[in-house]
Chain A
Amino acid sequence: MEEEKSALEHLELSQVNCLNEAGEHTLRSIVASRKKNTSPSTYLLSDVDQELILNLHFNQLVKIRSIVIQSSVESQAPKTIKLFINRPAIGFEEAGDAVEPDAAQIFQLTPEQVKEGKKIPLRFVRFQAVNSLHIFVASNMGDEDETRIDAIDIFGAPLSGGGLKDLSGLGKENDD
């Protein structure tokens, strides 16, 4: 497989938002640089309970191959994840009840995956035209009230010929 590029650079930052995030530890703070967050002082923390919904909007259609979810505190690391695509109005009730194929993919994270930030390969066919990706965190490793995510990264490529904002990037077409 060819070297994958981070799709974070195609994020539409003004639309990025997160439900149930704590006031001081927001999703925006860990993706604002459009790169994987490396600063230990910025992280995303849940507020009222352990659930989180991360809404990531892209400025063009992208294909997503794999994602990385990293957390430095094991007991607060996310465990059950549901991924949705192109569902900008999703809420906790809907997400909690959703099963595949309504949710694009449901999986459990292992402690190694979150600790080292290993790539989690996704079912590529279901992520072929992603305008917005919604990551629902249903539970965490230690059943704590707060879920902590230090960094996320998304690997994929813009859909060929799709991006209006990226017309100059002719070379990118070769990636597919």
Chain B
Amino acid sequence: MTRPNTILEIKDLHVGINDKPILQGLDLKLEKGKVHALMGPNGSGKSTLANLLARKEDYVVTSGHIQYLGEDLLTLSPEEAAWKGVFLSFQYPVSIPGVTNIQFLKSALNATLKAQGKPVLDAMDFLKIVKDKMAALEMPEALLYRFVNDGFSGGEKKRNEILQMSLLEPTLAILDETDSGLDIDALKAVATGINALRNENRAILLITHYQRLLSYIEPDFVHVLSNGKIIKSGDKSLALELEEKGYAWL
């Protein structure tokens, strides 16, 4: 199914929390098939943007627009946004003791399929699909029967996020500091998983602090967020410049 070219368009977005302004006039456009990296110093508003796009309700949008697939994103609840193909890989995935991973993944996938008017999967079909995807991410099957993220290492948590992305097949994938807390091997496995999910119908927004991840996932565009605005955009070489010169350079 072909999608419109523009997946996400943000215009002059102003967002605050608890009367404190965070995003102060953000513009961003993501087109299908492209990977955009969003970099910036701590406190610049990167996670705010990520969580806002996933429809976390703590923020106040004082002005600006966000169009997702031609629709006003801000009218959607978190689950509605999810059903329409928005996916956020969390920087710190929360654990849910008592709920097994397999139970969680199946509920999420079936809820989404149902909302999209597609047939839901039974236990057997689901198990087959998830096992294949886990193998591709080098995730041991035992993780299915553990409680969601409970006692998972950093690498296991991030892989679990990418596993979910792989299952839910989003249109817009926002990956919030996916590389934080990972050693080289985990980083490589996660990056491989993400690269395998690049396709011409999907837009990926890669939020990262360091250039390191971008050596493994080559972005089409790099943007720098500072003081709530995008102050510079460029291609992947911008990331390398930043690495050399630091954010203060801008």
- Judge: A and B partners, yes or no: no
